Structure formats: structure tokens, C-alpha cells
Amino acid sequence: MRKKIKRFFSRLKLKFYIWTKKSSSLIPSYKEEGPSYERTCFKICLKIIHHSDTEFMIAPMSDKRYLKNDAMGIFITMSERRVEITNHVYNYNVKLTERDWERLSYIFDTETDKRRLDYESEVNSQITNSLHSILERVSNFK
């Protein structure tokens, strides 16, 4: 009897595993053959993100990401798989694939976090006063 129960649960476990496993036949493989403007837009965003003069901004309520590069004259808005690239003459609105959107948003977030850490270390390196000396200076200020 125990053997039958163990066998039943092992089969059930196997069926559950097969049922929940993502089959490669259900998920299409990624192809580079997509429209060239999507790839071009993706590459432009990568170059702008990694450029040192680019300013980053995130709007947490709308989940939009903004890139601004004055040297190149490009402003990029990224939201919900859409990338809007604006220069002084044209405005391009491109819808990316899910894979490209995930990659681009991850790279954006990683670069933003890296710049935040650099900013924090710069701020912390310039600490010359202790809290007590700041309190004294503020207390003596009239």
C-alpha cells in the first residue's frame, strides 16, 4: 500500500513539474531578423545611456524613464515598451519587443544606480565636520 501511495505522489509530482515547466516550443526563440528600426532604436538608447554627459530621470508614478543629452541634442522618453526619441528636427516613436524592453530598462536602472553610488561616494568623501561641530556652528549663527 505504501508503495502505491509513493508511486502516486511521485507521478503527481512529475506531472505537476511537466505542467508548470515552460516548454521551449511555447516560447518563441529570439531572432535578430526584426525590423531594423527597432534594433537601431535599441542601439541608440544603449549609446545614450552609456554616454557620460547623459542626464537620467525617473518618474515613479508613471514609471517613465527619461534620458537627456545636450551635447548630442537628443531627448529620450521610455515607457511601457515604447521609446520616443526626439532631436531638434524629428520625433521617433518605436515599440520594442518584450525582450529588448526588459534589457533596456535593466541597463537603464543599472546605470542609474551606478551613477547614484558615485554621487553618494562623492558626497561622503567631502565630509569634514562632525555633527557636533555643525550643531555648534548652527547654534552660534544669528
Cβ–Cβ < 8 Å for 99, 110: no
Confidence of residue 24 (pLDDT cuts 50, 70, 90): very low
* β-bridge partners, 78: 65, 83
Q: What predicted TM-score, i.e. pTM, was given to this entire model?
A: 0.64
**Of the listed ranges 20-34, 46-60, 72-86, 108-122, the one predicted with least confidence:** 20-34
Domain limits, the chain: 34-125
- CA–CA gap between residue 104 and residue 37 (Å, rounded): 15
List pLDDT tens digits, range 64-103: 999 999 999 999 999 999 999 999 889 999 999 999 999 9
DSSP SS3 for 130: coil
